[in-house]
Structure 1
Amino acid sequence: MFEDEGVALRSEPRDKGRSSKTNINRRWYRRVMWLVVCLAMLGYGSLQCHRVVTDYLTYPKKVTIGVGEDMSTEFPAVTVCNLNPLPNRERLRGHPVWGAFVKIEEENLNPKCENLTEQYGKESADPAYGAGTTYGGGDANVGDATDDLNRRKRFAEDTKYSIPKDLTTADLSNDELETKRKRARRQAKDEAQTTRLACGVYYKYFLKMQESKQGPSIAKQSTESCSKDDYKEKLRFNPLCGVEVVCDNFGCFDAHLNVFMETTKFNSNTNTTMVCPSCSKKCWRKKWFDSWAKGKLSPDQVVELFSKSRTPDFSDIMGTFSPSPLDLDDYGVPAKYFIRACSYDQSACSHEQFYGWTSDSYGKCYTYNSAYRKVRIRGSKNTNYPGLATTTSPGSMNGLRLTLNIHADQYLALLSSEVGARVIVHSPHQIPFPEDQGFNVLPGVSVSVSVTKKVIRRVGEPYGNCSNTTSSKRFIRYSSIRCKKQCLEREYWRKCGCRVSMNHDDDIDADDKPERHCSIFNTTQKMCMKMTAYSFHRGRLSCQCPPACLETQYKTQVTASETNRLFYTIVQNMKNTRIADDLCSGSDNGTVRVHIYMDTLAYEEIVETPAYTFSTLLSNVGGNLGLFLGMSIVTMVELTEFLVDIVLLLLSRRRRQKEHQTIADHTLKTQNRTVIKEAGT
């Protein structure tokens, strides 16, 4: 019995050991399972948090389109310009340049209807220059025109590159001599092309222009730096061919990369020296070239220039003749002769309420409801800005009504192919650019313009790229188009040394602002302007001009109807006031009537806002951590506190160990001293 009990008693520790081992094994599996789960959740949660942060760093934005409505709205500014910048033909008769245009108009009042080609340019002798027609003064042609042109071209080709003299004097057969000449000419041509690609500024520009029109050239662009220190280019303009000519160390070439040569002849019949370029069938008197350089043109010269046009509407020639700022000021039409009648919201207004300024292409322009118009304070010499016009009544019964006298009978016809006025509806806080904005209004009809407003609010950095800051002291509101125009103008100043724009260039505050304007007769300045504009349109200038953060746009809908002349006749007779010039002259070609009104007080609003803010980032990160790891801000604070406690515990334990070690060292030293003292006694 006792033996059995003893056996039972001895067997109990074994059973407890087995159960403890089993529990340990079970706890080990659980730890591994939880470790795998925690690592998986930690990895997937970290991946989700990385995606959330990555999405936030892209700074997305959302666009909201809504409709708002005001009880009273600011009426837009309305700018009107004459399509012809110099409608003053009678005063221009004695002008050194425009006088020739007046004479040509008078000699071509009736259309020529006989001996015309069916297609423009069909009889062109040279596709690079157009047809070589003859105008008056037949002494410009010397001998047979076609044979003389071919002879000059062959002469130019033969003398384009310098050929060693020994090849012309060597004792060789004609075939061998011709072969060597061709080889030398080919080598000289390759050398010239390589040097021009590396050193020539104008040659590379002409080549790019040809490639943009005709496709890539077989000529390879040189990547080598210019090694020819004495290479020089001299630019000039040949008015007979209407083309720029460049002469360098290897010869002369024109803007079409054709060989160019000039020969001189003496005409004994007229006792004049003639200059014969290789690009034309004709010869010009030398004094004509001299008069062109001095800025004086004769009717014959103007006809020659327009005859070289390569477009059916002279659009390639019109840029050559741009009125100077002085001409626009002297021959532009004042506001009181341009704006004949004006009313706003059924109340009278006058030309004195318009702000006048000068456009680059249209000359004198006038703006109604401009924020930049100043008025003189009564009884004082000081000026002030009046308030802007507002309206509470939309619809066709209200708005701005204008009657304009465009002086079509005084048009300088070759300066504009259209008759009428240019109208731009824009923000009162901006000055427009009629070359890029607006629409044309034809005379003889009544034009109605319905206007709706649109407001755009853009978001700035880092979600978007917009600007509200401007360095202008005059224009408070930022404008992207004005920024680009001023950037191009500054580049003209820097590269060409002259001013081009007349449209608010006085707003640019810079120390390097040139005093003089660029001249159309200065070939270097003209070519510099072309090259600079080419770089600007290709995006090669560093112009940082983002869109405005706050922009107000006006959408227009234009309709036209026939004018009731009897109505305006009765008004003029009863009021005994001239309200339109066409009523008495009988011509419908000189008066423009336009009516601009707000269609509704409602407006479209486009608002950009951040689609992913910092609070959204915190919410998403917290949601991922809570979902996959069960963490929250409180948990993170507790975890931080726990880690701090562990660090403090480790530091305190290490400090106690140092203290114990110090006490032990001190005790050991004390014992050693006691032992030494006892040993000495």
Structure 2
Amino acid sequence: MGILHILSEVCKNFGKKTSIAGLNHAVNSSSHLRRFAWLSIFFILMVFTFQTFLDTVLDFTSYPVLTSVNVTRKFNLPFPAVTICNLNRVQCTNLVYTQYQESEKMKLSPTNGTIDTVQLLNELVDLTKCLEQLCNKMNKFVGPVRVGPLGNYVDTTLLAIANLKCPVSIHIGRNCYYYKSIEEEAYKLNNTELYNRSIEAWNYQKCKAEEACSYKPQSDVPLQVRFEPLKFCEGKKFKTPSLFKGKFTKRHKNPLIMVEEAKFFNIFFKLPIYIQNAIGHQFESKLQYIHQYELTTKGFILSCQYRGESCLEKNASWTMINLPRYGNCYTLNSMNYPYNKLQSTSLTGAANGIELSFFVDQDNYIVSRLSEKAGVRIIIHEPGDFPLPDENGIDLQPGTATSIAIQKSDIIRLPKPYKSECFSNWSETPYENMTLDHPSYSIIVCQRICLQKWLKQKCGCTHPHIRQIGGFSKRKICNITPDAKENMDYKCFLEFIERFDNGSYNCQCNVACLEVDYSCQNTVSTWPSNEFWETLALELNLIDENLLPLPETLENKFRTDIQKNFVKTDIYYQTMSVKVIEQIPKYSYGTFIAGLGGSLSLYLGIAIIMIFEILEFIIDLFSRLGYYFVKGNKVKNHQHQKQKPNISSEILKY
């Protein structure tokens, strides 16, 4: 009895007793044709079963996910953070005024730091043409003056820095008839050095407060003021460019915005942080206007209301961040400030949201391609997220009211070993020590930190657009001026960016496990209306009620300036329903077992009990084969001993 006979006998016995469909029929069939047909069907289906079983196992080990989209109703929702930026990064009046202040400091204490700062400010004033803009306006300014922050802000600041009557113009933007003594004014300014110099100059020249203000009211028209010539602008003549020069010039080989922006960054980032903040649009203005009426200045953010209550207190709810392309930006309801008033809301609609209005101040925009657009950039994001105006911002147009209805969406992903391999926090990345100012993990911020790290390593400088992320604000920036001759920074920068875009550098950045997004539906209307602009002007102290009605020309001027400089927006929840986009594992333990059962039973009807039949078959087969090999060796040894000749007996025969 050979091995083949044993295999045949064991398989035949298993086929007669098994409950596996097809195999039982094949063995018990009396016809050879039927037996062949059933065996063929059985083996074909067994191949399909094995393939399905293997696919199920491989699919399970790849950790697949399913994506579910649900809409859940919430009783209340936390209000998002709102970041607001002016589309103009440097405010000309603040720049010229800061230049004047730093120049005065340099005269009092000429150190290397103050000298360098003044030199950089001079270069920035020349690049932005701020002084040219202000002086041109002042030279033309001999007619009606606008009361309030629409234009008088520019003029009075120049009056202050012009130093007209006294060595130090102590009445910086103040009302001449309000302060009776220079000591009181200097005390208001809270500047000891300026106070001492002012007292000395005041006593020496015996100046009067009325003379220090340097304007001459005309009695016939209350709103008309004629300013004396400004010594600060004397000798400065600037060309007024015409709209067309008769022919179009050839297009520059490099985008001019890149050239100007690179020059701007090379100057701006060398300035101290406090100077960078001082020359941007301020949350609230620290200057007052020179006029016979006492007025209060308005900063960038005019008003903020949440459910009818003011949320304009800077120290209560707002934080500031300086972004290279937008200057000073202000965030309401940031996680970085724990004392926020905006907690959560359970009601929808504009009456239960935030109402904001802004003073764009186009008269103080820098004269260059760096301010091609006018308006406000607004970003709605999670309180713990870093504001990304370039990616997520919405532009608000001057002279309009924009209603922004938001809906919250939660995107939930699964961590490793699932395919998304998401990160929950910065500790899962190699950049944890570089993200102290960014509490929430974000793949965009992570990629920017990675880019800066590689760029610093390869080129020895950092990208100017994103240097405020990851602690790179004090590092050398890359000179990305395209026109600079032999600019090694620019050459290295271009080569690096190309390779970075192609994926040559490894960034250990994955998507966030929890990502919160706010979808926005915007509607825009004209603001203020023809019937409301006068009421708005009175509310903002732009005009005096006793001067109404205004002459038609002045009325048109006011209306145009208001539409040019004011913006309003409402931000509110459109619905309390939250869209939840969630990844869930495709297989749990139960679904995996069910998948295996389905792959086994689909073609051959194999159940779990049949597995024990197969185990019994394997045990029988190996036991028979083992018995055969053991018994076969004993038989062979016995026969070999019988056939072996007895040498000793053969020898005796002889």
- The interval holding the TM-score normalised by the smaller chain is 0.5 to 0.7
CA distance, structure 1, for counterparts of residue 520 and residue 605 of structure 2:
59
Q: Displacement, 1:398?
A: 2.0
CA distance, structure 1, for counterparts of residue 30 and residue 497 of structure 2:
82
Query: Which residue pairs with 1:366 in the alignment?
Result: 330
Over the matched positions of the two proteins, sequence identity in percent amounts to 24
Query: Which residue pairs with 1:565 in the alignment?
Result: 533
Q: Displacement, 1:318?
A: 3.5
RMSD over aligned Cα, in angstroms? 4.2
| 554-563 or 60-69, which deviates more | 60-69
Q: What whole-Å deviation, never above 9, does each CA across 1:372-419 have from its counterpart, x for those lacking one?
A: 2256xxxxxxxxxx6862111210112112233333322222121122
SS in 1 for 2:47: helix
| 318-327 or 78-87, which deviates more | 318-327
Structure 1 residues 625, 446: closer, same or farther in 2, change over 3 A?
closer
CA distance, structure 2, for counterparts of residue 619 and residue 610 of structure 1:
15
Q: What whole-Å deviation, never above 9, does each CA across 1:436-490 have from its counterpart, x for those lacking one?
A: 2212223333332222222222345434454334234443432121122212211
- The size of the alignment, in residue pairs, is 442
CA distance, structure 2, for counterparts of residue 452 and residue 103 of structure 1:
45
**Please, which of 401, 421, 441 is the counterpart of residue 446 of structure 1?**
401
Q: Decide whether the 8 Å contact of 2:66 with 2:585 is kept in 1.
A: yes
Q: Decide whether the 8 Å contact of 1:89 with 1:411 is kept in 2.
A: no
Letter in 2 for 1:416: S
Query: Which residue pairs with 2:106 in the alignment?
Result: none
Q: What whole-Å deviation, never above 9, does each CA across 1:529-554 have from its counterpart, x for those lacking one?
A: 33333333444433343432321111
The answer on 1:467 being equivalent to 2:423 is yes
Query: Which residue pairs with 1:626 in the alignment?
Result: 601
TM-score by length of structure 1 reads: 0.56
Query: Which residue pairs with 2:96 in the alignment?
Result: 90
Q: What whole-Å deviation, never above 9, does each CA across 1:485-527 have from its counterpart, x for those lacking one?
A: 2122112211221233475746359xxx974344568833243
**Please, which of 453, 456, 464 is the counterpart of residue 411 of structure 2?**
456
Letter in 2 for 1:623: G
Larger CA Rg, structure 1 vs 2: 1
Structure 1 residues 390, 496: closer, same or farther in 2, change over 3 A?
same
SS in 2 for 1:547: coil
The answer on 1:479 being equivalent to 2:479 is no
Letter in 1 for 2:242: K
Structure 1 residues 29, 448: closer, same or farther in 2, change over 3 A?
closer
SS in 2 for 1:436: helix
Letter in 2 for 1:329: N
Query: Which residue pairs with 1:333 in the alignment?
Result: 281
**Please, which of 562, 585, 591 is the counterpart of residue 566 of structure 2?**
591
Query: Which residue pairs with 2:43 in the alignment?
Result: 39
SS in 1 for 2:581: strand
Structure 1 residues 661, 520: closer, same or farther in 2, change over 3 A?
closer
Query: Which residue pairs with 2:306 in the alignment?
Result: 344
SS in 1 for 2:446: helix
SS in 2 for 1:507: coil
CA distance, structure 2, for counterparts of residue 25 and residue 635 of structure 1:
21
TM-score by length of structure 2 reads: 0.58
Structure 2 unmatched ranges of 5 or more: 1-27, 101-117, 137-236, 286-299, 427-431, 545-553
Structure 1 residues 398, 309: closer, same or farther in 2, change over 3 A?
farther
Query: Which residue pairs with 1:221 in the alignment?
Result: none
Query: Which residue pairs with 1:321 in the alignment?
Result: 264
Letter in 1 for 2:328: K
Structure 1 residues 316, 560: closer, same or farther in 2, change over 3 A?
farther
**Please, which of 490, 495, 506 is the counterpart of residue 453 of structure 2?**
490
Structure 1 residues 475, 655: closer, same or farther in 2, change over 3 A?
farther
Letter in 1 for 2:246: L
CA distance, structure 2, for counterparts of residue 339 and residue 56 of structure 1:
56
Q: Decide whether the 8 Å contact of 2:318 with 2:332 is kept in 1.
A: yes
Q: Displacement, 1:556?
A: 1.8
Query: Which residue pairs with 1:607 in the alignment?
Result: 582
Q: Matches of residues 8-407 of structure 1 in structure 2 within 5 Å?
A: 26=30, 31-50=35-54, 52-53=56-57, 61-87=65-91, 88-91=94-97, 92=99, 95-100=121-126, 101-105=129-133, 106=136, 110-113=240-243, 115-117=245-247, 120-121=248-249, 124=250, 314=257, 317-322=260-265, 324-325=268-269, 326=271, 328-337=276-285, 338-349=300-311, 350-352=313-315, 353-373=317-337, 389-407=343-361
Q: What whole-Å deviation, never above 9, does each CA across 1:543-586 have from its counterpart, x for those lacking one?
A: 34343232111122232332233444554579x9xxxxx99987
Query: Which residue pairs with 2:550 in the alignment?
Result: none
SS in 1 for 2:391: coil
CA distance, structure 2, for counterparts of residue 113 and residue 27 of structure 1:
102
Q: Decide whether the 8 Å contact of 1:339 with 1:404 is kept in 2.
A: yes
CA distance, structure 1, for counterparts of residue 597 and residue 616 of structure 2:
19
Structure 1 residues 538, 361: closer, same or farther in 2, change over 3 A?
farther
Q: What whole-Å deviation, never above 9, does each CA across 1:316-347 have from its counterpart, x for those lacking one?
A: 54444335233523422343333332221222
Q: What whole-Å deviation, never above 9, does each CA across 1:210-239 have from its counterpart, x for those lacking one?
A: xxxxxxxxxxxxxxxxxxxxxxxxxxxxxx
Q: Displacement, 1:603?
A: 2.5
Q: Decide whether the 8 Å contact of 2:527 with 2:568 is kept in 1.
A: no
Structure 1 residues 309, 318: closer, same or farther in 2, change over 3 A?
farther
CA distance, structure 1, for counterparts of residue 29 and residue 403 of structure 2:
93
The answer on 1:426 being equivalent to 2:370 is no
| 340-349 or 418-427, which deviates more | 340-349
Structure 1 unmatched ranges of 5 or more: 1-23, 125-129, 131-307, 376-385, 577-581, 667-671
CA distance, structure 2, for counterparts of residue 25 and residue 360 of structure 1:
86
